[in-house]
Structure 1
């Protein structure tokens, strides 16, 4: 009797403790080098990798648990010559918001080059048989934007639809987020772009995942890149079709400024955003208020409520 009563009391205490844990407890406990901005997460065999904004396109290698990280060699030791053709004012070898996914036996990494506040931008592509081999092929330009366009060709996200077809979502500010179908042989656009989200105060960093008959679009809104003063946050909506319309929990379209808040940060982690979804987790950066506002990698298990909405 005593053993049973003690067990019940212990279980109740554990349940109470879990209920009052701070929001940060939902993040994986990471160690090592976790400096990252706009991370994309990939699992290859028993290893984890993260690709992020920075000189030459930054790479972090994780252990089998995804909890301990070390800095790996960057992809570009020097910028390809074709970059300057499309983005002449790019800061030297500065690569933004990469997105890594496995498809058709290869690893594809889309990335952006631009200059801050400009939509003279380009999305490029590299590929490899395996990340761990470290041998990358430059697949060149995917798409571009100029001051003549009403969109910005940055923040790419490779999405594979329920039928196995590849698509590319992208965009930042201007007229918002777009999606275009890709040719599976070239992994470059075929057909016209479709608008999937826009917001007068800006929206960027699309990340789309499919779950139980729905496509879920995650995006970042508000002010990025200001350290602890950042007001970045992650929103979402869902659609039965990969091209939308995407609606939030209140039924408002993301084309009309809608979006349910997924993560707005907490006392330590300011301005979460630049998210990526895959392998059952959501990765994003946030600014660490305990470390001078430096951007760091956050990873959480991605969960689903009984009525089909994402949480962590």
Structure 2
């Protein structure tokens, strides 16, 4: 009788443990990275087993890794400025390029990026393509979207994504009137129609990344809210909302429309990693971002984490 009761208790404990593992997966993890991981606004992709990370910096900075955890710095994309940059952004600072986004489509890698001057919406999103990142046969494709002081939006922080039918779209925007979404022509890989506002937030919103999750039936709009670029004084947080339509409305968990300031924070940082943001969500199982390392004078560094989804269809990671 005692043995039977012990066995019953053991089974009950095992059942409870399994339920906890389902609710809070023990394998939810952030990769341990090494090498050169200095980065801001990372964009992540894998080509033939090599992990590539493009980021804000001189001529678009490039990191690469053969194992996905140990990174080295590669050759920057631009050695000199395309002539059209000075036409659209006269006050642009030489080769300073912001917030790239990489997308593979129709046999080519499409690298979107932005040029601007801090605090201004005289900005432009450009496109450069190649057939192989390793080969580095980059070809300038010119301007994609631009804005100026009379524009409501700010043409920076591009993110290309596909809807559930394979149609292409781009989200972009920073502060000013917030985040916008526009359809992308599959031939030119540039906008083909109007841009629609999907999110605003007082105190700062930018760095959008949209992904469709077929398991939940929702589009998820990830954003960085708050302020960046001030080391450990940065207030960036990663937040999210979701919608059944590409053009919204996107709602936070509490039901607030993101156009009205709604945003569900899923990462506000910790004692070491301050101001997480500039995120890229390359798949429903991965999120890549930067944060400021409090143990290294606030240097921005790369973080890569497994992305999980709770029973209500909301993303989280540790």
Could you tell me the TM-score, scaled by structure 1's length?
Answer: 0.91
In structure 2, what is the Cα distance between the partners aligned to 1:98 and 1:137?
Answer: 15
Counterparts in 2 of 1:66-215, with a 5 A limit? 66-212=68-214, 213-215=217-219
Determine the structure 2 residue equivalent to 1:22.
Answer: none
Determine the structure 1 residue equivalent to 2:316.
Answer: 311
Deviation at 1:235?
0.5
Determine the structure 2 residue equivalent to 1:53.
Answer: 56
In structure 2, what is the Cα distance between the partners aligned to 1:200 and 1:29?
Answer: 34
Please, what is the CA RMSD of the aligned residues? Answer: 2.1
Determine the structure 1 residue equivalent to 2:294.
Answer: 289
Deviations 1:237-290 (A, max 9, x none): 000111100001111110010010011100000000000001431000000000
Residue correspondences, number: 297
Deviation beyond 6 Å, 4+ runs, structure 1: none
Determine the structure 1 residue equivalent to 2:38.
Answer: 35
1:26 lines up with 2:29 in the alignment: yes
Deviation at 1:46?
1.0
Larger Rg: 2
In structure 2, what is the Cα distance between the partners aligned to 1:130 and 1:281?
Answer: 23
Determine the structure 1 residue equivalent to 2:251.
Answer: 247
In structure 2, what is the Cα distance between the partners aligned to 1:285 and 1:48?
Answer: 16
Deviations 1:286-307 (A, max 9, x none): 0000000000000101111111
Deviations 1:40-85 (A, max 9, x none): 1111121110000000000100123x11100010100111111001
In structure 2, what is the Cα distance between the partners aligned to 1:242 and 1:130?
Answer: 30
In structure 2, what is the Cα distance between the partners aligned to 1:305 and 1:132?
Answer: 37
Identify the match of residue 301 of structure 1 among 286, 290, 306.
Answer: 306
3-state DSSP of counterpart to 2:87: helix
The gaps in structure 2 that reach 5 residues or longer are 22-27
Determine the structure 1 residue equivalent to 2:237.
Answer: 233
3-state DSSP of counterpart to 2:220: strand
In structure 2, what is the Cα distance between the partners aligned to 1:130 and 1:196?
Answer: 34
3-state DSSP of counterpart to 1:290: helix
